[in-house]
Structure 1
Amino acid sequence: MDTQVWIEFLKQNWLVIAIALIILFIVLNVLRTVIKWVLAVLIIGGLLVYSGISLDKIGEVVSTVKEETVDTIKAEAMNMMMKEAKEAKYTSNGDGTYSIKAPNLELKGSAGSEKVEVTFRGVSVGKWDINDTIRSFINDAKSNTATK
């Protein structure tokens, strides 16, 4: 969002914004029930709609931030896999499933599956397709466990 657009909007609509803020303060100070919060949300929502920000734009921003965050976490987890491969421990659970634990990572999967569930620093980051990096991490964990 461009700050110049916001400045221009504020210059053109300062009176409407000032009236909305005064009404908002009156509502918040006078009413002591759930109604005040409903009215506050309606006033703020009205200002957002009036300013030209649509729910679609807000949704797009949220989606973009979410995608960028997931991509960053995946990249960080992949880098951590390469760094912690020597410390990873492979555990076969006996029912066809396995788990691999490293200081910051945990992988859970089943033999023959092309997906693993990844936990990064205690937070589940979903099921990932097994790629070359993950396959190498699994093989390193197996070899670490076999040599000790």
Structure 2
Amino acid sequence: MNTQVWSDFLQQNWLVIVIALIVLFVVLNLVKTMVKWALVIIIVVAVVVYSGVSLEKIKDVVNDVKTETVDTVKTEATNLMMKEAKEAKYAADAAGNFTITSPNLELKGQKGQDKVEVSLRGVSLGQWKISDTVQSFIAQSKNNSNVSSSK
């Protein structure tokens, strides 16, 4: 969020904010029921609406944060794939389903499909298309399994 916008808003509306805070403290100290929280919510919503912050703007900010977080986690998982490829273990069943596990990652997929289910430290990251990095991770895990089974 733009700090300049908030700074301008606070400079222009400081009196309204101070009055809203005083009313909030009075409500919190005097009213002892659920009505207190309803009044608090109404006051906060009124200040937010008065500030010109629309729900659409809030939604955009939330979506931006979500997208950045998902991208960061995917980047971390991809980096871990490269680092943990030598420790990855490949296991497959007769139906063509396979599972690759490493200390922090787990991939599940089916032979011939172009997507795999990726989990990072037990948290699902959804289905990923098989990129060069994922393909390399799969190939290395197969080699690791072949080497360990031939010993």
TM over 0.5: same fold?
yes
1:121 shift after superposition: 1.9
1:9 shift after superposition: 2.1
User: Aligned runs of 1:104-143 on 2, under 5 Å?
Assistant: 104-143=104-143
Structure 1 position 62 matched with structure 2 position 62: yes
SS in 2 for 1:94: coil
- Please name the residue that 2:146 is paired with: 146
Stretches of structure 2 lacking an aligned partner (at least 5 in a row): none
- Distance change (3 Å), C-alpha of 1:15 and 1:145: same
Question: Which amino acid counterpart does residue 73 of structure 2 have in structure 1?
Answer: I
Question: How many percent of aligned residue pairs carry the same amino acid?
Answer: 58
Q: Distance in 1 between matches of 2:91 and 2:109?
A: 11
Structure 1 position 16 matched with structure 2 position 12: no
Q: Alpha-carbon deviations, 1:11-63, whole Å to 9, x = none?
A: 32222111111111122222222222222112111111111111111111111
- Please name the residue that 2:92 is paired with: 92
Q: How many residues align?
A: 148
Q: Distance in 1 between matches of 2:38 and 2:97?
A: 50
1:2 shift after superposition: 3.5
1:5 shift after superposition: 3.1
TM-score (ref. length: structure 1): 0.92
Stretches of structure 1 lacking an aligned partner (at least 5 in a row): none
Q: Distance in 2 between matches of 1:136 and 1:2?
A: 41
Question: Which amino acid counterpart does residue 81 of structure 1 have in structure 2?
Answer: M
Q: Distance in 1 between matches of 2:129 and 2:30?
A: 56
1:139 shift after superposition: 1.0
TM-score (ref. length: structure 2): 0.90
Q: Alpha-carbon deviations, 1:90-120, whole Å to 9, x = none?
A: 0113332111000111101111111111011
